[in-house]
Amino acid sequence: MARTKPTADARERVLEAADRLFYRDGIRATGVDTVIAAAGVAKMTLYAHFKSKDELIAAYLRRRSEHVCTWFASAVVRYAEQSGDWLDAIFAALKEWFRTPDFRGCAFINATAELPDPSHPGRSAIDEHAARFTAAVADALKKARVNDADTVAAAVTMLIDGAIVAAARDGTSDSADQAFEVARTLLQRA
């Protein structure tokens, strides 16, 4: 009997299901059996690609980081082309994200809370994402000709993290505007 879906497709379906479920329901609240059912694969197939749920979590976070950072960089460019203001573009992109119907905060902030053990494989994926996202912010700040953009990006990323948590808590996108004003003030004083 011929296979209807190639192995890589099964792996991708598992990752897509994990992405949707882990983000929506939480990592700890989502069992492997739920991911398997949503992906339409056998348990053996999941474990052929991921040795454990922890390995699946790390792969999910790395995949999500790729998607998030690619989207963010593209959105920032799009807004900067419209406004001519790279700092404003960062926060306009955030506001767009906060307004999406499935917004549930930052998958990486959420995962940090769910994975307190620093040796968990997902924690290295979280750290990699933090560095990658901060680099994307630094890139935009460099285009805005901000002095010491790498250092400033770390501070702006902390503002972004706070705005994300506030947006998830409050259910509004107002925190993006508030964080933008704080960032603007920070840069004026620098």
Dist CA 51 CA 72 (whole Å) = 31
Span 103-127, pLDDT tens digits? 999 999 999 999 999 999 999 999 9
Task: Return the closest-CA partner of residue 27 out of 64, 2, 71, 1.
Answer: 64
Q: What pLDDT is attached to residue 7?
A: 74
pLDDT score of 1 more than 90: no
Answer for the pair 134, 154: CB distance below 8 angstroms, yes or no: yes
pLDDT tens profile 12-54: 999 999 999 999 999 999 999 999 999 999 999 999 999 999 9
Which tokens belong to 130? 């933090």
Tell me: pLDDT of 180 over 60. Answer: yes
137-146 mean pLDDT: 96
Distance CA 183, CA 91 (A): 10
In this predicted structure, the answer to whether residue 10 has a pLDDT above a threshold of 80 is yes
Residue 2: per-residue pLDDT: 46
Predicted confidence (pLDDT) at residue 189 exceeds the cutoff of 90: no
Under the banding of pLDDT at 50, 70 and 90, the label for residue 8 is confident
CB 92 within 8 A of CB 158: no
Enumerate helices (H) and strands (E) in the chain, giving the number of each: 9, 0
Alpha helices in 4-148 (DSSP H): 7-25, 32-39, 43-49, 53-83, 86-98, 107-114, 121-143
* pLDDT at site 176: 97
CA 3 to chain centre: 34
Mean pLDDT on 51-76? 98
- In sequence order, what are the residues at sequence separation of 6 or more whose Cβ sits closer than 8 angstroms to the Cβ of residue 96? 75
Span 163-188, mean pLDDT?
Answer: 96
Which is higher by pLDDT, 186 or 159? 159
Work out the burial of residue 3: count CB atoms within 10 Å of its CB; fewer than 13 is exposed, 13-18 middle, 19 or more buried: exposed
Confidence of residue 5 (pLDDT cuts 50, 70, 90): low
How is the chain split among helix, strand and coil, in percent rounded to 5?
A: 75, 0, 25
Q: Which domains does the chain have, with CATH numbers?
A: 1-50 (1.10.10.60), 64-188 (1.10.357.10)
pLDDT, the chain, mean: 95
| Mean pLDDT, range 134-158, rounded to an integer | 96
Q: What is the pLDDT of residue 84?
A: 95
Nearest 5°: the CA angle 88, 101, 155 is 35
Please answer whether residues 86 and 143 qualify as being in contact, where contact means their C-beta atoms are separated by less than 8 angstroms: yes
Q: Quick one: 60 exposed, middle or buried, by C-beta within 10 A (0-12, 13-18, 19+)?
A: buried
Q: What percent of the chain has pLDDT over 70?
A: 96
